[in-house]
Amino acid sequence: MPAVFLPGMEYPSSMTSSHAQPKVNLTNAPDYRESYANSVQIRVSMWDFHLTFGTLRHESPEEVKIENSQGIYLSPQQAKAFWNILGQNLAQYQQTFGNIALEPQQPQVANGQVN
């Protein structure tokens, strides 16, 4: 069963509890879709987090093309819950399959205004 976080619910840090959890009924909306992303950009405001997912392709050694496909807004509370469950799942993944190595990153220099 996928992890589901409901607004207003309190979750223990271990995510294990003897308290009864509400029954969660998952359904897909008619326009539900799945897609692949190997790029995510994050914008933050006082009110929300905006995650933009897309695919990154190296067109040449000097050029990278990112085609964005989906933007998702999260409240700060939902972003923190997502961060917690993602961290737990990454830890379990690495325990099962080994360390996830990240490629060396070049420093990012912003072009234009930064807010």
DSSP symbols for 40-106: EEEEE-SS-EEEEEEEEEEEETTEEEEEEEEEEEE-HHHHHHHHHHHHHHHHHHHHHH---PPPP-P
The domain ranges of the chain are: 39-86
What would the mean pLDDT of 69-98 be, rounded to a whole number?
96
Q: Report the range of poorest mean pLDDT among 23-32, 73-82, 103-112.
A: 103-112
What does pLDDT average to over the chain?
A: 83
- Output the pTM of the full model: 0.66
What would the mean pLDDT of 9-31 be, rounded to a whole number?
74
Q: What pLDDT does 2 receive?
A: 54
